[in-house]
Amino acid sequence: MEKKHLLYEGRAKRVYATDDPELLIAAYKDSRGTAAVPGRGAVNNRVSVCLMQMLEREGIPTHLVEQRSDRETVIRRVHIIPLKVIIRNVAAGSLCTRIGLPEGTRLRSAILEYYYRSAALGDPMINRYHAFELQLCTPEELSVIDRYAFRINDILKPFLRGLGVDLIDCKLEFGRLPDGTIVLADEITPDTCRLWDAETGEKLDRDRFRRDPGRAKDVSEAILRRMTRGNFV
């Protein structure tokens, strides 16, 4: 497959056209709007591919086609639904500031939130009625997204727990294939999740990255090592 022109550049990835109109190439960068950490893009690429392969095996459709090189992955072209879907198991971050729960409070059941992806509006939190008013997706599509988000959480939580890591919360994005099928898109990496060490509570994720970007790649690599040590890959 031939890599063609750059279609889109985000903070973490560049997306290229290919000679197949249905396929794109996502290339992970070493920076995320912050200082570059050499190797971080390659590690995040591998982590996301591993997790999406596992989710596919568990019946969640994703945009993943195949890893192409250390930092590049072939993905299906989708229409991205402009929602950040956040699933939470433990109170942290904006949940604490919004509703006053102390950080670390284990939630009675997982909490799902939607944020409207709009740079101009600062990605506001919305509910399903706002999403329908804005015609971001149909009610049927949103119920598929909800079901997938809870299921993904139910798959990732015990998997990561087996690696000694607690999944605190996670951001998911979904897309629509030309035939209307909803698939998991974007990435699942320690940059889009909160991951705390299950024993010590040490923060292993993006919160850590913000304070200590030099450690970012080490932590992702440690998770990757833990992931690939089992019979996982």
CB of 183 to ligand TMP, least distance (A): 18
Q: Which is nearer to ligand TMP, 18 or 145 (CB)?
A: 145
Q: Which is nearer to ligand TMP, 182 or 204 (CB)?
A: 204
Q: Which is nearer to ligand TMP, 137 or 193 (CB)?
A: 193
Nearest residue relative to ligand TMP (C-beta): 93
CA distances from 190 to 49, 125, 168, 213 (A): 13, 22, 11, 12
Q: Which is nearer to ligand TMP, 171 or 208 (CB)?
A: 171
Q: Which is nearer to ligand TMP, 70 or 103 (CB)?
A: 103
The contacts of residue 46 (CB under 8 Å, 6+ apart) are: 67, 70, 224
Residue with structure tokens 């509703």? Answer: 99
CB of 193 to ligand TMP, least distance (A): 5
Are the C-beta atoms of residues 220 and 43 closer than 8 Å to each other?
yes
Q: Which is nearer to ligand TMP, 68 or 88 (CB)?
A: 88
The residue ranges that bind ligand TMP (CB under 6 A) are: 84, 86, 92-95, 169-171, 192-194
Core vs surface per residue 57-89: b (16+ CB within 10 A) or e: eeebbbbbbebbeebbbbbbbbeebebbbbbbb
CB of 94 to ligand TMP, least distance (A): 3
Are the C-beta atoms of residues 137 and 127 closer than 8 Å to each other?
no
CB of 85 to ligand TMP, least distance (A): 9
Are the C-beta atoms of residues 225 and 209 closer than 8 Å to each other?
no
CB of 168 to ligand TMP, least distance (A): 7
As given in the structure block, the two tokens for residue 40 are 């971080």
Nearest to 62 by CA among 150, 169, 156, 181: 181
CB of 146 to ligand TMP, least distance (A): 16
Q: Which is nearer to ligand TMP, 30 or 113 (CB)?
A: 113
As given in the structure block, the two tokens for residue 160 are 């990561």
Nearest to 55 by CA among 223, 184, 186: 184
CB of 205 to ligand TMP, least distance (A): 7
